């Protein structure tokens, strides 16, 4: 089975033009077919402030009212996505920038209102991704680059968690490819001591997840990352890694960050 590597980039790397350039150069060198999914960094929050739109966050998740949706669409699908595509073309990686609406590749459902109304936020499930359309792009020699914007096929764009997008794509493509999912951010992986990069936990099994949450090894934004990771593994993804963006070349040597195992 042919290998497919899906890489999600986010965090401070998106906000640092030099770090982003270096990462994209390394990403372009990843062998075989590949897909990139990116978050939005701090640019959307900064622009919202300049426009007088207050960013509302609940437990690290953005409340997306209609004004905020306009801003994140401009920033994620426009400025950041096209800058990444242009930088990849610079290093001879034939990227094509996409939202979920393009080719109807990722269809989401607007998150239902429960205790909190998250606004125009999209949720995904196992039927959200059109593996056929995505495979057509891969077979055509393109490297798809997805931002964190999807749609509901009823004309509405939706702000959608980029980590989840990457995981759902990986699951959808695992029937056709040996799929690896790689989360890149500013830390070296899961750390026993969040302030000490030498304390990387090289392997985390799903049976350890609850213990690591209980003792604080895994906390904050790492919790949903690992939830997505283990969900992907249990649904057929061959391997999931979490590690530092500037160490991506180490992936082929098998010593990149933390590897999640069933």
Show binding-site residues for substrate.
40-41, 62, 159
**What length is written for the chain?**
262
Phi, psi values for residue 177, rounded to 5°: -135, 160
Rounded Cα–Cα distance for residues 18 and 37 (Å):
19
Binding-site residues sit at 40-41, 62, 159
**Nearest CA to 238 among 171, 190, 156?**
171
Bridging pattern class, strands 3-9 and 33-38: parallel
**Buried residues in 13-22 as b, exposed as e (16+ CB within 10 A):** bbeeeebbee
Q: Are 19 and 184 in contact (CB under 8 A)?
A: no
């Amino acid at each position: 089975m042919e290998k497919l590597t899906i890489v999600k980039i986010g965090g401070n790397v998106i906000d640092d033009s030099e770090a982003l350039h270096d990462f994209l150069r390394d990403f372009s060198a990843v062998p075989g077919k590949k897909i990139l999914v990116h978050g939005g960094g701090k640019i959307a929050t900064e622009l919202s402030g300049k426009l007088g739109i207050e960013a509302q966050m609940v437990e690290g998740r953005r409340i997306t009212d209609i004004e905020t949706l306009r801003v994140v669409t401009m920033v994620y699908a426009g400025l950041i996505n096209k800058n990444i595509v242009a930088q990849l073309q610079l290093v001879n990686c034939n990227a094509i920038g996409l939202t979920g609406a393009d080719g109807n590749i990722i269809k989401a459902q607007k998150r239902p209102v429960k205790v909190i109304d998250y606004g125009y936020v999209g949720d995904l499930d196992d039927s959200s991704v059109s593996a056929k359309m995505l495979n057509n792009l891969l077979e055509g020699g393109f490297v798809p680059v997805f931002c964190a914007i999807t749609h509901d096929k009823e004309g509405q764009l939706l702000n959608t968690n980029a980590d989840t997008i990457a995981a759902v794509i990986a699951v959808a493509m695992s029937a056709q490819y040996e799929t690896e999912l790689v989360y890149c951010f500013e830390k070296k992986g899961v750390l026993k001591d969040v302030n000490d990069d030498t304390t990387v936990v090289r392997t985390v099994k799903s049976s350890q997840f609850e213990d690591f949450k209980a003792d604080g090894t895994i906390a904050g934004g790492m919790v949903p990352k690992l939830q997505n990771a283990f969900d992907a593994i249990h649904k057929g993804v061959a391997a999931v890694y979490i590690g530092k963006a500037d160490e991506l070349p180490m992936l082929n040597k098998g010593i990149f960050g933390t590897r999640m195992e069933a």
